[in-house]
């Protein structure tokens, strides 16, 4: 159901206030061919109403001929900023970049962040943005989970479907996503609400069962029959099951890259306003599936790159897979029990 421009402007102002936007600061709105027109126009109005200096940088799309999907997360690495030194300079000169285009997992994004610029990704449709406006309480809860994850040396994940995964930790930092950017050089994603890290390189092992009703992204499908992944030395060495497994295997093989099968980020959802059930209610090409990534109590894991956390893998393939009803433990302490967040651990 559509939202009004007034609702979107108010939502932007709340997020910009949480992001500590100040009068006179420079904001660049980064847009492309798939950016939502209402998000662009209301962001321009909201930024100006708060006394900041606003620019819009519109760049042409790339990778369309390489990707099997129109989802912006289906082919990573090269972006419209690749080799575009003038555009990169403009973004580095900004206090805040509102990314309505998608720069995820790109070296250009990492370079801009190191310069101190804040980047907020916001590519979901306006109605999803308005439903999941972040709060200060989201930040408090996610940071509490990040603190626990940062101290852990091992994550274990089990489920009644047969998942039994062991991930040694400590090589990469824990990353909180709570929907706004309140520190220089911070990246975040509106909407979100989860915590993640990456297993030590080559260390994850075990078995992951993607059960009926779990979700594949960017496919944006509920799985109809179990898919079993064998994880050895940090890589998915087998993908077994029925037609769903065949579809996943065929999609991943199209990248012709062995690094596509590496276990990427791991963590759990903490956003109560996100819902597992919304995937079947939305136009597949109109969103990127942030409800699925952030819904409270999921175990979210990924296959593909780890350069976002400082690793060396930069494969173009990135598969996000949120699982239901898993039990997640850190050094033997349960943080998610059968799909329910343990509040004693989530509390600050």
The least confident of 178-187, 220-229, 283-292 is 283-292
Domain identity same for 52 and 151: no
Domain identity same for 274 and 294: yes
Residues 144, 149, 151, 157: is their CA dihedral positive or negative?
positive
Domain identity same for 266 and 142: yes
Residue range of the domain that includes 122: 5-131
Q: Judge whether residue 198 has pLDDT over 90.
A: yes
Domain identity same for 338 and 221: yes
Domain identity same for 198 and 273: yes
Domain identity same for 208 and 111: no
Domain identity same for 119 and 141: no
Q: Judge whether residue 212 has pLDDT over 80.
A: yes
Q: Final residue of a domain: which of 108, 131, 154?
A: 131
pLDDT in tens, 99-139: 999 987 788 999 999 999 999 999 999 999 999 999 999 99
pLDDT band at 9 (very low <50, low <70, confident <90, very high): very high
The pLDDT value recorded for residue 347 is: 55
Domain identity same for 222 and 318: yes
Domain identity same for 235 and 335: yes
Q: Final residue of a domain: which of 98, 131, 164?
A: 131
Structural domains counted in the chain: 2
Domain identity same for 124 and 141: no
The pLDDT value recorded for residue 348 is: 53
Q: CA nearest 211: which of 246, 248, 161, 247? A: 161
**Domain containing residue 103: CATH number:** 3.40.50.980
Domain identity same for 173 and 299: yes
Quick one: average pLDDT of 248-273?
97
Domain identity same for 313 and 298: yes
The pLDDT value recorded for residue 346 is: 54
The two structure tokens encoding residue 189: 């994603």
Quick one: average pLDDT of 300-326?
91
Quick one: average pLDDT of 91-97?
98
Percent of the chain with pLDDT over 70: 98
Q: Judge whether residue 153 has pLDDT over 90.
A: yes
Q: Final residue of a domain: which of 131, 146, 170?
A: 131
């Amino acid at each position: 159901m559509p939202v009004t421009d007034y609702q979107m402007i108010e939502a932007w102002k709340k997020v910009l206030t949480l992001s500590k936007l100040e009068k006179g600061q420079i904001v660049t709105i980064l847009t492309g061919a798939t950016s939502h027109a209402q998000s662009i126009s209301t962001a321009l109005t909201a930024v100006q109403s708060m006394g900041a200096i606003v620019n819009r940088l519109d760049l042409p799309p790339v990778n369309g001929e390489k990707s099997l999907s129109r989802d912006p997360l289906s082919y990573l690495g090269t972006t419209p900023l690749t080799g575009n030194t003038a555009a990169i300079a403009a973004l580095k000169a900004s206090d805040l970049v509102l990314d309505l285009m998608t720069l995820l997992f790109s070296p250009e994004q990492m370079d801009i962040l190191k310069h101190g610029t804040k980047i907020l990704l916001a590519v979901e449709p306006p109605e999803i943005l308005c439903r999941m406006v972040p709060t200060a309480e989201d930040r408090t809860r996610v940071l509490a989970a990040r603190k626990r994850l940062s101290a852990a040396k091992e994550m274990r994940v089990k489920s009644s479907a047969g998942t039994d995964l062991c991930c040694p930790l400590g090589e990469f930092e824990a990353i909180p996503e709570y929907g706004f950017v309140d520190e220089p050089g911070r990246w975040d994603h509106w909407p979100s609400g989860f915590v993640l890290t990456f297993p030590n390189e080559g260390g994850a092992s075990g078995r992951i069962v993607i059960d009926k009703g779990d979700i594949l992204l960017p496919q944006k499908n509920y799985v109809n029959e179990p898919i079993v992944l064998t994880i050895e030395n940090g890589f998915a060495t087998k993908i077994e099951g029925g037609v769903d497994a065949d579809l996943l295997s065929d999609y991943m093989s199209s990248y012709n890259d062995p690094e596509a099968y590496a276990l990427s980020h791991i963590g759990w959802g903490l956003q109560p306003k996100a819902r597992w059930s919304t995937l079947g209610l939305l136009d597949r090409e109109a969103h990127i599936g942030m409800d699925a990534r952030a819904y409270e109590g999921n175990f979210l894991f990924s296959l593909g790159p780890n350069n976002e956390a400082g690793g060396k893998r930069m494969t173009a393939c990135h598969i996000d897979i949120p699982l239901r009803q898993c039990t997640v433990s850190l050094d033997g302490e349960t943080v998610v029990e059968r799909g329910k967040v343990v509040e004693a651990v989530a509390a600050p």
